[in-house]
């Protein structure tokens, strides 16, 4: 039986990864998290209600703040892993603008600490570093960034994620570790932090409040993103872990650069207004909204991000459920589980 370590397991995406792995593998899962404002053990507890006692016993929770090294005692307690997925991070852009050093600690120093732990694993088959579309910066209309395009951070969050990414590349080069990097963007799903756009819009529509839509300076073009459900991100990761042969067959046309990178991206691009309209329709409600100039309200944010998902498609993976179906599923689930909308 394989053993997998998920850092940031009490976070939004990682708890969906735990769920997906419980459903689709017989692996033992360890979650390592420091439980900050965005980490919530109740996520795991709530999600685990779906599973019987035998499956619940496959998950172990460990407390650790990765700003500190994984010392000998913790390392002995954690043991050996086949896979390590590093999702723990500080990820709120506005907070990174207020306090960049906190993000260096959580996203660069913490990444070095978990890579150092991984370095001394005896039979590690794969380490996956979770990066973001934001490392590429704003995407002009018509441009969807590929895995090896240039980076252009527009806020400290993106820069620290890019820093963590380069450490992962360096560890593969220096210590020949089996590392992949994923770039994902605008992940949504059940139990997402209520400060995020989709849960916030579900709440505002439910309460007949005005929804604020970020747009360009003329307040005519709303910002846009590719959205992907967290279960689909988990499914893409599982595909990568289960199919190393497909990755090995890929031509290396990046001037010899190591450390394969994969964009895990939703199939369609929606603008913020379209998405809010979908959320309102799913509730049979009218959308009340106003467009606001995002530049003046949210410095460091970009109007459009976009990734190209062709590489994953070429090796045989794409999300199995349509984004429209996923939105309806999340709206309906959230309205039945309103404790997850409380701030
Ligand atoms: N949510 C998105 O749309 C999105 C998009 C692209 C990339 N990502 C990346 O995916 C990963 C997960 O994102 P998320 O939205 O689930 O984040 P999240 O904020 O919900 O979860 C992050 C978790 O990491 C933990 N954590 C933070 N710093 C830590 C530290 N120093 N030591 C131990 N634990 C720590 C937190 O307690 C939390 O449980 C992050 O690496 C993020 O950069 C997310």
Q: 143-178, pLDDT tens digit by residue?
A: 999 999 999 999 999 999 999 999 999 999 999 999
- CA 74 from chain center: how many Å? 26
Work out the percent of the chain whose per-residue pLDDT is above 70: 97
Confidence (pLDDT) at 296: 63
3-state secondary structure labels for all residues of the chain: CCEEEEECCCCHHHHHHHHHHHHHCCCEEEEEECCCCCCCHHHHHHHHCCCCHHHHCCEEEEECCCCCCCCHHHHHHHCCCCEEEECCCCCCHHHHHHCHHHHHHHHHHHHHHHHHHHHCCCCCCEEEEEEEHHHHCCCCCCCCECCCCCCCCCCHHHHHHHHHHHHHHHHHHHHCCCEEEEEECCEECCCCCCCCHHHHHHHHHHCCCCEEEEECCCCCCECEEECEEHHHHHHHHHHHHHCHHHHHCCCCCCCCCCCCEEEECCCCEEEHHHHHHHHHHHCCCCCCEEEEEHHHHCCCCCCECCECCHHHHHCCCCCCCCHHHHHHHHHHHHHHCHHHHCC
157 is catalytic: yes
Q: What is the mean pLDDT of residues 323-330?
A: 97
Quick check: 254 pLDDT over 80?
no
Q: Which residues of 262-297 are buried (b: 16+ CB within 10 A; e: fewer)?
A: bbbbbeebbbbbebbbbbbbbbeeebebebeebeee
Atom of ligand 1 nearest to the CA of 134: 6
Predicted pLDDT at 256:
76
Question: In the predicted model, is pLDDT for residue 299 greater than 70?
Answer: no
> Spelled out in words, what is the top-level CATH class assigned to the domain 197-225+269-303+323-341?
alpha beta
pLDDT at 294: 72
Q: Give me the percent of the chain exceeding a pLDDT of 90.
A: 87
Which residue ranges make up each domain of the chain?
3-188+227-264, 197-225+269-303+323-341
Q: Which atom of ligand 1 is nearest to the CA of 10?
A: 39
Closest ligand 1 atom to the C-alpha of 133? 6
In the CATH scheme, what is the code of domain 3-188+227-264?
3.40.50.720
Residue to mutate, 88, 109, 117, 137, ligand 1, most ligand atoms under 8 Å from C-beta? 88
Say if ligand 1 is within 6 A of residue 35 CB.
yes
| Residue 165 falls in the annotated catalytic set | no
Q: Is 36 in the pocket of ligand 1 (CB under 6 A)?
A: yes
The pLDDT of residue 297 is 63
| 9, 87, 112, best to mutate for ligand 1 pocket (most atoms within 8 Å of CB) | 87
Does the C-beta of 134 come closer than 6 Å to ligand 1? no
39 lines ligand 1 (CB under 6 A): yes
Confidence grade of residue 129 (pLDDT, cut at 50, 70, 90): very high
CB atoms within 10 A of CB 222: 22
111 lines ligand 1 (CB under 6 A): no
Which two tokens mark 323? 């984004």
């Amino acid at each position: 039986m394989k053993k997998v370590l998920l850092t940031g397991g009490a976070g939004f995406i990682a708890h969906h990864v735990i769920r997906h792995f419980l459903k689709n593998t017989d692996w033992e899962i360890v979650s390592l998290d420091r439980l900050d404002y965005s980490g919530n053990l109740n996520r795991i507890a709530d999600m685990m209600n779906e599973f019987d006692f035998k499956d619940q016993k496959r998950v172990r929770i460990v407390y650790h703040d990765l700003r500190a090294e994984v010392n000998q005692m913790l390392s002995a307690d954690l043991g050996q892993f086949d896979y390590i997925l590093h999702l723990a991070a500080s990820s709120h852009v506005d907070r990174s603008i207020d306090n960049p050093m906190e993000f260096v600690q959580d996203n660069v120093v913490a990444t070095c600490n978990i890579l150092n732990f991984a370095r001394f694993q005896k039979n590690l088959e794969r380490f996956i570093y979770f990066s973001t579309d934001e490392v590429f910066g704003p995407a002009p209309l018509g441009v969807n960034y590929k895995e090896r395009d240039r980076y252009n951070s527009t806020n400290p969050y993106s820069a620290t994620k890019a820093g963590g990414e380069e450490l992962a590349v360096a560890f593969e080069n220096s210590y020949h570790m089996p590392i992949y990097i994923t770039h994902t963007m605008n992940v949504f799903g059940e139990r997402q932090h209520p400060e995020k756009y989709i849960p916030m819009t579900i709440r505002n529509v439910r309460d007949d409040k005005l929804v604020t839509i970020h747009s360009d300076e003329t307040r005519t073009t709303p910002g846009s993103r590719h959205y992907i459900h967290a279960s689909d991100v988990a499914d893409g990761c599982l595909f990568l872990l289960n199919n190393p042969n497909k990755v090995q067959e890929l031509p290396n046309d990046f001037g010899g650069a190591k450390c394969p990178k994969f964009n895990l991206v939703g199939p369609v691009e929606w603008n913020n207004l379209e998405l809010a309209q979908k959320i309102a329709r799913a509730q049979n409600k009218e959308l009340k909204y106003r467009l606001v100039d995002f530049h003046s309200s949210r410095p460091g944010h970009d109007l459009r991000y976009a990734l190209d998902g062709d590489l994953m498609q070429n090796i045989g993976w794409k999300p199995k459920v349509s984004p429209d179906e996923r939105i309806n599923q999340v709206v309906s689930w959230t309205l039945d589980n309103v404790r997850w909308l409380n701030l």
